[in-house]
Amino acid sequence: MIFTNDELKPIYLQIAEWLETEILSGNIAADEKIYSQYQLAAMFNINPATAAKGLNILADEKMLYKKRGLGMFVTPDAAEIIRTKRRERNLKRWVEELVKEANRLNISDSELNDMIKAARNRSKEEQR
């Protein structure tokens, strides 16, 4: 199931984020046909209109393109668009919050850097 515990985030946004993650992880390649709104609706037991809203977000952000009569496909530069978007919208915000909390806890730059490196190494190990 893709849905988070964040009940404030609409399902169509969760669908869009899940599809972004699938693209980033290489499960859906550039120029590959993406799931239809009906496939997504069946996969996640949601309304097809909700699934379509998630797909349309990605199309509006130039991550997907439509081929009339064939469906939606991943743009060649979708992964880079997603990386840039997530770097700007998510990562910067999370880093700012992390640094604020580290400051409140009197954690030194070197200790914080060590914590980040350790977390990154664990993440790399988990991906193997």
Which position has the higher pLDDT, 128 or 17? Answer: 17
Q: Per the domain annotation, does 55 fall within a domain?
A: yes
- Looking at the fold, whether 61 and 99 belong to one and the same domain comes out as no
The per-residue pLDDT for 1 is 45
- 64 and 34 Cβ atoms separated by less than 8 Å: yes
| Residue 71: CATH number of its domain | 1.10.10.10
- Looking at the fold, whether 86 and 106 belong to one and the same domain comes out as yes
- Looking at the fold, whether 85 and 65 belong to one and the same domain comes out as no
- Looking at the fold, whether 15 and 72 belong to one and the same domain comes out as yes
Q: Per the domain annotation, does 49 fall within a domain?
A: yes
Split into its structural domains, the chain has a count of 2
pLDDT digits (tens, 9 = 90+) for 91-114: 899 999 999 999 999 999 999 999
Percent of the chain with pLDDT over 70: 95
Write the single-letter amino acid at 26: G
What average pLDDT does the segment 11-16 reach? 96
The per-residue pLDDT for 18 is 96
Q: CA gyration radius for the chain?
A: 18
As a whole number of angstroms, the distance between CA 122 and CA 108 comes to 21
Q: Per the domain annotation, does 60 fall within a domain?
A: yes
Segments forming the whole domain that contains residue 29: 11-77
pLDDT digits (tens, 9 = 90+) for 57-81: 999 999 999 999 999 999 999 999 9
* pLDDT confidence bin for 7, thresholds 50/70/90: low
Write the single-letter amino acid at 20: E
